[in-house]
Amino acid sequence: MRSAFSAALTRLGRDNPDVLLITGDHGYALFDEFRTACPDQFINAGIAEQNMVGMAAGLARLGFRPFVYGLSAFVPIRVVEQIKMDIAHDDLPVVLLGDGAGFVYSHLGPSHQSAEDIACARSVPGLTVLSPGDRYEMTACMDLAYDLRGPVYMRMGKADRGEVHAGTLSPLVVGEPICVRSGPADAPALLATGAMLTTAVQLAEQHGPMAVWSVPSVKPLSTEAIAAISRSSSAIVVMEEHSVHGGLGAAVTEIVTEVEPCRVLRIGIQDRFSKHCGSYDYLLREHGLDLASVKERVDAFTATI
């Protein structure tokens, strides 16, 4: 997934000299390919995220196409106000890349773990929020982010969870979920985003026939598409490596309660910080986001429908 990111970034940079990669002193070897191909389009803004995002706005005003890279614990969290006033207020074409979303930095503790970014980004007017689930979605999201020519936050979670799609996707339509597998109307539909997508597919394989939808475009999110999923399933289960407050689960719930009510189970990070550190898989277990824990909750939920 990271090589797909690097390849897409390098391709966009090579094809368009106005593309700039700006990093807050993060990314080290990740940008080797880009820096070799486009050495003059790389800016290290130092460990100074607020200034970095403000500068990206200034550069975008002149017609540059900044891709601003940081850890999602910092971009967007530390710089929500710069994103709001310097970038989104003027609909500037800046792509904000928040890496390490969720529990990627499992050993480092809560400062580097990121469970609030979607919630913050969703509330900024006009800011598109993307969250690719595998390498093919990554490539498609990068192309979409470039083509939208507006403010975009792209969330990058755990990158080595495997592939879900069989190959290159056709261009993404902003707001539209992607059907990964279809399922019967008397079973819940699974909606997942980011690193939880592979877990959703594994769950569907174990649980019996269930529809699985990937949601790379968290905002905007098509009201019609979510209503249709609600109509064609017995309930909805949303899975995300993000707080249950304000993330995809909240977005889906907001839509269905207005237009097509159904039961929604929100599987995500509960309202607390990690208690301990450890491996990524350990952190998933601690927060009940590993496959076994998720399956238990979904089975119990399904039994109540």
Partner 1 sequence: MLYRSFVRYPGGDPRHPDRDYLVLSKGHGVMAQYACMREMGWLNDKEHIERYFGDGSDLMGLSDSRTPGLEVSSGSLGHGFSVGVGIAEGLRRRGTDQRVFAIVGDGELNEGPIWEGMLFASHNKLSNLMMIVDANGFQAMGRTDDVMELGSIRQKLESFGFETADVDGHDQGALETTIRTLIDSDSPRPKALVAKTIKGKGVPFMEHDNQWHYRHLSAQDYEASIEALRAEVAL
Task: Provide the binding-site residues for partner 1, judged by CB under 8 A.
Answer: 43, 45-46, 48, 50-64, 81-82, 85-86, 89-90
- Minimum CB separation from partner 1 for residue 55, in Å? 3
Handedness of CA 140, 160, 119, 165 (dihedral sign): positive
User: Looking at beta carbons only, is 21 or 178 nearer to partner 1?
Assistant: 21
User: Looking at beta carbons only, is 45 or 298 nearer to partner 1?
Assistant: 45
- Minimum CB separation from partner 1 for residue 60, in Å? 8
User: Looking at beta carbons only, is 57 or 218 nearer to partner 1?
Assistant: 57
Give every CB contact of residue 141 below 8 A, 6+ residues apart in sequence.
Answer: 130, 131, 132, 154, 172, 216
User: Looking at beta carbons only, is 85 or 305 nearer to partner 1?
Assistant: 85
- Minimum CB separation from partner 1 for residue 43, in Å? 8
Other residues' Cβ atoms within 10 Å of the Cβ of residue 236: 25
User: Looking at beta carbons only, is 82 or 199 nearer to partner 1?
Assistant: 82
- Minimum CB separation from partner 1 for residue 33, in Å? 22
- Minimum CB separation from partner 1 for residue 42, in Å? 12
- Minimum CB separation from partner 1 for residue 20, in Å? 8
CA dihedral 97, 131, 257, 191 (to 10 degrees): -160
Helix 291-303 and helix 196-207, axial crossing angle in degrees, nearest 10:
50
- CA dist list (Å): 164 to 62, 136, 236: 39, 8, 20
φ and ψ of 57, to 5 deg: -65, -45
- Minimum CB separation from partner 1 for residue 25, in Å? 12
How far is Cα 85 from Cα 34, in angstroms, rounded to an integer?
29
User: Looking at beta carbons only, is 66 or 133 nearer to partner 1?
Assistant: 66
Residue 257 region, left (φ>0) first, then alpha (ψ -120 to 50), else beta? alpha
User: Looking at beta carbons only, is 40 or 186 nearer to partner 1?
Assistant: 40
